[in-house]
């Protein structure tokens, strides 16, 4: 059995459940029909350019909770990344 783990940023515009459903539809008629997709939601990670504080927010506006600056750098949580593809169970 193949297990695919995908990090789904909360601001990627991708809904983890929809991604998993689409994946299962695609592999249903293939040799990978037993493959499973595990979509892991990843919160948006931000860093303040003014005071370097790191923080996470679920939704905009993106402003630093420490100093209030809105000049923040987005470090993650905006894309979809395949983290691992695992083969397990009864091999040949």
Of 40-59, binders to Zn ion (CB under 5 A) are 48, 50-51, 53
**Mask for 66-85, x = binds Zn ion (CB under 5 A):** xx-x----------------
In whole angstroms, the minimum distance from the beta carbon of 75 to Zn ion comes to 14
Mention every residue, 6+ apart, whose C-beta is less than 8 A from residue 52. Answer: none
Please give the C-alpha separations between residue 79 and each of 24, 34, 46, 60, in angstroms, as whole numbers. Answer: 21, 26, 14, 16
CB of 47 to Zn ion, least distance (A): 9
64 is an interface residue for Zn ion by CB under 5 A = yes
What is the nearest approach in angstroms of Zn ion to the Cβ of residue 11? 20
Distance CA(6)–CA(45), nearest Å, equals: 17
Q: Which residues pair with 78 in a beta bridge?
A: none
Query: What distance in Å separates the CA atoms of residue 86 and residue 76, rounded to the nearest whole number?
Result: 24
Q: Which residues bind Zn ion (CB under 5 A)?
A: 48, 50-51, 53, 64, 66-67, 69
């Amino acid at each position: 059995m193949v297990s695919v783990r995908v990090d789904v940023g909360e601001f990627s515009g991708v809904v983890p459940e929809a991604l998993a459903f689409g994946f299962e539809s695609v592999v249903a008629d293939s040799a990978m029909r037993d493959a499973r997709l595990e979509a892991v939601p990843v919160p948006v990670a931000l860093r303040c350019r003014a005071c370097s504080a790191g923080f996470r927010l679920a939704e905009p506006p993106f402003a630093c909770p420490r100093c209030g600056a809105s000049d923040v750098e987005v470090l993650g949580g905006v894309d979809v990344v395949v983290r691992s593809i695992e083969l397990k169970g009864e091999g040949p």
